[in-house]
Amino acid sequence: MEGTLSIAADPGSRLRGSRCADCEVAVYPADPVCPRCGGQAEQVALSGRGTLWTWTVQRYAPKSPPYAVPAAGFEPFTVGYVELPEGVRVLAVLDIRPEDAEIGMPLTLTVGDGVPRAVGARA
Amino acid sequence: MSVEEVLVCGAGITSFARTEDDGRQLAVRAVRSALADAGLPWSRVRAAYGGSDAAGNADTLVSELGLTGVPFINVGNGCATGGSALVSAVGAIRSGAADIALAVGFDKHPRGAFDPRPADWGLDESYGRDGLMVTTQFFAMKIQRYMHDYGISARTLALVAEKAYANGVRNPHAWRRKPVDADEILASGMVNDPLTRYMFCSPGQGAVALILCSRAVADELEGTPVALRAAVVRTRRFGSFEVFSPWAPPGTPTSVSADAARLAFEEAGLGPGDIDVCQLQDTESGAEVMHMAECGFSEHGEQERLIPSGATAIGGALPVNTDGGCIANGEPIGASGLRQVHEIVQQLRGRAGERQVPGEPRTGFTHVYGAPGVSACTVLTR
């Protein structure tokens, strides 16, 4: 199924979220309605730079389907919430080594064909 | 306006161990056991509420229980199914619509992790394809941040599970009845950092039934009734951090558990400091740690001192999950909330056997939490 994420432009592009003009709440993916006040929200391109709010490591292969096991086989991967300056924490797969994960670390967030992904960004 | 007092006069539970029985069979057994405990026939029940997440409709139980014409309302409220059935039964007694009411919760799930579909949660298919539709990731990420903010150690998480298994050993209807120590729990294999395999509960099976009644009915009965002083269900407010969220708002997350607990204490006219024994949702070890503070039983971070000191063990200052909780009993979604209330009822009646809290506890509290941000709390007194 073609979803709202998979029609989002080229791999490595900025995330397209939305923001409510009244209460400044930013969300991802974009939602025409503000989840707090129910007012109209406008689409915005979110910052690509943020910091890690929390994380974990997926140590076992999730149930497949829906999980698509990589061609090279399952390897544990890191996931986390990346906090952006717009005031939103975005769930992403972290393309970092699990042992490097640390709350507060700077990350660069992009989206391509799938969920948002982040890589380490030395500040 | 006078509000009718609500008492629990009968409590029934099945074993939570894996058997060949189906969920409805378990439910019938729990209801019969609760009626026998109360000393009441099914024909006296004037209102019934119940449900399961995956084991059928509660109202069909009338085929086995008896076709008395009783209004029987199905409740389907995810993890809050039992709590919602109980709140409904309380409403029936308080309003005077019924003098005896049943709340029943039951379930039976396949082995292995729950299997959510992205579309059911309003999420793009990519969240499933890329491996993010995994409930345990959420629990891990919530406690990971909490440990960072409040200085909770991995060993404290292990001690929570060690206590759960120790209490399960003393509970004849628990599923997990072997002791497991903290070192073994820490070494049981990482599932989602910082949570290891033995820190989690597993989907399981079981059924619980409670018979509620008015004061007038309780006075006719021979048993020891327990007063249900408050029963509250709440859904989340903006700002909470929940499972399967592609984004979360900034700041310290709001907590539906804190909201439900505060309202339950208000309704009961009691506070956390008045409680002698409690049951807190322990989907995994971290949940019990965080729910201690969210429900008002400790300051954030204080758990790092309280748990290793034995404060939450049977015999401690505030025993938590004396029946082994979800970790030792498994998680039959429809039954868990009422299992907690059953345990408090038995503790307050002094009928909890080998796991009885010493000193004749007089007050108890229960708390259930589940997706997508619902919580049910009760306060009970003897």
pLDDT for res B59: 95
In B241-270, the residues whose Cβ lies within 8 Å of chain A are 245-250
Quick one: average pLDDT of A25-30?
Answer: 93
Which helix (H) or strand (E) covers residue A89, if one does? strand A88-94
pLDDT for res B110: 86
Q: Which two tokens stand for residue B35?
A: 């009626």
Residue B45: Cβ-neighbour burial (10 angstroms; 0-12, 13-18, 19+): buried
User: Domains in chain A and their CATH numbers?
Assistant: 16-120 (2.40.50.840)
pLDDT higher than 70, residue A6: no
Question: Which pLDDT band, with edges at 50, 70 and 90, does A23 fall under?
Answer: confident
Residue position matching structure tokens 């979360």:
B248
Residues of chain B neighbouring A53 (CB-CB closer than 8 A):
145
Quick one: average pLDDT of A13-21?
Answer: 91
Q: A57 vs B192: CB contact, 8 Å cut-off? A: yes
Residues of chain B neighbouring A39 (CB-CB closer than 8 A):
none
Residues of chain B neighbouring A60 (CB-CB closer than 8 A):
191
Find the CB nearest A5 among B115, B126, B194: B126
Residues of chain A neighbouring B133 (CB-CB closer than 8 A):
62, 66-67
Following DSSP, what letter does each residue of A57-78 receive, concatenated?
EE-SPPPTTTS---TT----EE
Share of chain A above pLDDT 70, in %: 89
Residue B366 CB partners (closer than 8 Å, separation 6+):
B278, B279, B337, B340, B341, B343, B344, B376, B377, B378, B380
Residue of B nearest to A116 (CA): B246
- DSSP helix/strand/coil, B204: coil
B141 CB near a chain A CB, below 8 Å? yes
Residue B197 CB partners (closer than 8 Å, separation 6+):
B188, B189, B190, B191
pLDDT for res A121: 84
pLDDT for res A9: 43
How far apart (Å, rounded) are the C-alpha atoms in residues A86 and B301?
29
Substitution target from A56, A64, A102 for chain B, most B beta carbons within 10 A: A56
Residues in chain B, pLDDT under 50: 1
Q: With both helix axes pointing from N to C terminus, report the angle between B285-294 and B256-268 in degrees, rounded to the nearest 10.
A: 50
C-alpha distance from A11 to closest chain B C-alpha (Å): 14
How far apart (Å, rounded) are the C-alpha atoms in residues A55 and B67?
53
CA neighbor of A85 nearest in space, from A56, A112, A106: A106
How far apart (Å, rounded) are the C-alpha atoms in residues B61 and B207?
13
pLDDT for res A13: 82
Cβ contact A116:A90 at 8 Å? yes
ipTM above 0.90, yes or no: yes
Q: What is the DSSP letter of B92?
A: H
pLDDT for res B103: 98
pLDDT higher than 60, residue A123: no
Residues of chain A neighbouring B250 (CB-CB closer than 8 A):
83, 87-89
The beta strands (E) that lie in B259-355 are given as 277-280
pLDDT higher than 70, residue A16: yes
CA neighbor of A19 nearest in space, from A70, A88, A78: A88
Question: What CATH fold (topology level) applies to the domain B7-111+201-381?
Answer: Peroxisomal Thiolase; Chain A, domain 1 (3.40.47)
B113 CB near a chain A CB, below 8 Å? yes
Find the CB nearest A56 among B126, B144, B238: B144
pTM: 0.94
